[in-house]
Amino acid sequence: MVSAADGPLSLAEAIEEFLRSRTALKQSANTLAAYRRDLAGVGAVLARQAGRGEPAKLELEAVTGRALRAAFAEYAEPRAASSIGRAWSVWNQFFTFLVADELAPGNPMGSVGRPKAPHRYPKPLRGEDTPERILESAAAPVDRTRRRAPWPERDFAVLAVLLCAGLRSTELLELTVSSVGGRAGERILTVRGKGGKERAVPVEPELEAVIDEYLKSRADRFGGREPARSDPLFVGTDNAPLGRGALQYLVSRSYREAGVSGQVPRGASVHALRHTFATRLAEDGASAVEIMRLLGHASLTTSQNYIDATAREQRAAIRASRTSRALRKVAGGEQAAVE
């Protein structure tokens, strides 16, 4: 174990070293906050179980595999397997960094069991024409006078980007004006995804026109001032960056106005638009590799889920058809007659 100049390294000091290294990699603020929560949460249990009170008083060398097993066992008690799996991954990254930086002699996470997260199936919007109904409703010149500060061009652009580029909420909120680049007719959207990884999503001319119309309305709305390239791409009616709560409200309101609230899977309001983008790619013949690149998945297995889900939905649709029901009735009757 390499010690600090004034004594052994504490767990809290090691955590700060790790977070500084992640900051240098330009990882998003939300990612860094999630790292800190998982490290601090398990760290607090470690310190308490060791009788130190807090991570600042716990020496890093005391964080052994045995101590971590006990801490994770307690930390997991009220939490879902997916949350513990994420925390395990963060602590594994933490010790991998410490070993590489010669701050720890080895990674003890190998002796800590990692729970297997439940398989997550995609949750796209239900209904064959639901995305079209949402876009048509957002683009329609309906009466929005009851809203306090209506901004249909902004709302339409947000929905179009979510549905036609498959972004996560965080990715959309972190877009800047400079994220839209390239020549007219060949625009791309540069997206910073999980882990700070960037990907380029092609922007079709129709989506480009929607974004341009929104930016024009934005300049008109705020005194004719063109936004700087470093400014957030999407802002609220006060010209401040659009927040997560405002985005959630915007999307939920759009569902209500389009009359499709019943087609939205439970717990997947904004994310359902991303799942719809991916599912339609699979339905239209995109490969798992293409889906992985467009959505920024870390694993090809995640992308394959959309293709597998599409196959299941197609089989369910066939089974629900009137002809299939008739065949089951006839075949069942024939079988009964034979018996």
Q: Which of 154, 192, 274, 280 is catalytic?
A: 274
Residue 32 and residue 23 in contact, taking contact as beta carbons nearer than 8 Å = yes
Question: How far from 339 is each of 315, 326, 335, CA to CA, in Å?
Answer: 29, 20, 6
Token pair 């004034």 is at which residue? 6
Residue 78: CB atoms within 10 A of its CB come to 7
In degrees rounded to 5, what are phi and psi of residue 97?
A: -65, -45
Query: Cα 311 to the chain's mean position, in Å?
Result: 24
Catalytic annotation present for 194: yes
20-36 b/e (C-beta count within 10 Å ≥ 16 → b): eebeeeebbeebbebbb
For this structure, is 168 an active site residue? Answer: yes
Side chain identity at 187, as an amino acid letter? R
Catalytic-labelled residue, pool 22, 123, 154, 168: 168
Catalytic residue (choose from 271, 275, 280, 293): 271
Q: Which of 126, 194, 199, 293 is catalytic?
A: 194
Round to whole Å and give the CA distance between 191 and 29.
Answer: 15
Question: Is residue 18 packed enough to be buried (19+ CB in 10 Å), middle (13-18) or exposed (0-12)?
Answer: buried
Name the region of 183 (left: φ>0; alpha: ψ -120 to 50; beta: rest). Answer: beta
Residues serving a catalytic function are 168, 194, 271, 274, 297, 306
